[in-house]
Every structure is written in structure tokens, then in C-alpha cells.
Amino acid sequence: MKINIERTVEVKKMLCSCDGMCDSGNYFENLQNFGVELKSDENFRDLEDFAGALASKERLIILKSLKEKDRCVCELETILDKSQSTISHHLRKLERANLIKSWKKGSYTYYGLEKEQLNSYLKVLNKELQN
């Protein structure tokens, strides 16, 4: 949603007082262009998936437990003291972000941490927000 015209005028006036900006109209346009550039950055879309996958204490516990070793769903149910359907919901979110992998072993499904993908996300996060 675009800033309405009245708010645009207000923001431009405020920009004049920020760091002594005299050409607030040009600065305003530069800021808008910068915003468009950031919004289209693929790295931020990936980081949004990553952050969304981490946005749950249960999913963080799953990742921490998979760091120790690959586990089946019944182990994760026991660790979290949650139902199989709840665990499956969390596992789907982690799989969508490619943070974990799954495979069948007999009648059980096992899950393991995708350490390379996790490290990749952390490198992008570091690059985008620290450097």
C-alpha cells in the first residue's frame, strides 16, 4: 500500500528535520526506491521462510534435538510432550524451509537436520544484516 498524499507531505516535512536534509523530495524518492529494491531481494524471501520456521519454541526444540541425532516422530513426541499431529505441523514448516529432511525406515519416518541449508541461511542473514 502506498503512502497517501497527505502522509507523504508530512513525511517529507519530517525528513527535512532529519540530519538537516534540505531536499526532502529527492531523499523521499531515494528512500522509496531503496524500499522497492529491498522488497524484491530474493534473500529476504528466503530469510522470511527461515525466520518463520524458527518462530516457534517447539520448532527450535525440534532443531536442537535433531542437532544431537536423527529422530523418528515418536521420539519428538516424547521430547515435546505433544501429539503426533502437532509435531507433524511443526515438521512440515521446517521441511518447507529446507531445514530438515525426512525418510522412511520401515514403518517409521525419521527426520534429520539439513546443516548445510541452516548454515546457508545464517550466512545470508549475516551478510544482509551485519555487513
Q: Which CATH architecture has domain 43-125?
A: Orthogonal Bundle (1.10)
Domain boundaries, the chain: 5-40, 43-125
Model-level pTM? 0.72
pLDDT score of 1 more than 70: no
* Residues pairing with 111 in the sheet: 71, 102
The per-residue pLDDT for range 8-63, each reduced to its tens digit, is 778 877 777 776 666 767 888 888 888 888 888 777 777 888 899 999 999 999 99
pLDDT of amino acid 21: 61
Backbone angles phi, psi at 98, to 5 degrees: 60, 30
- Whose cell is 519530517? That residue is 14
CA quadruple 8, 9, 12, 14: dihedral sign: negative
Model confidence pLDDT, tens digit, residues 65-115: 999 999 999 999 999 999 999 999 999 999 999 999 999 999 999 999 999
pLDDT of residue 79: 96
Q: What pLDDT score does 82 carry?
A: 94
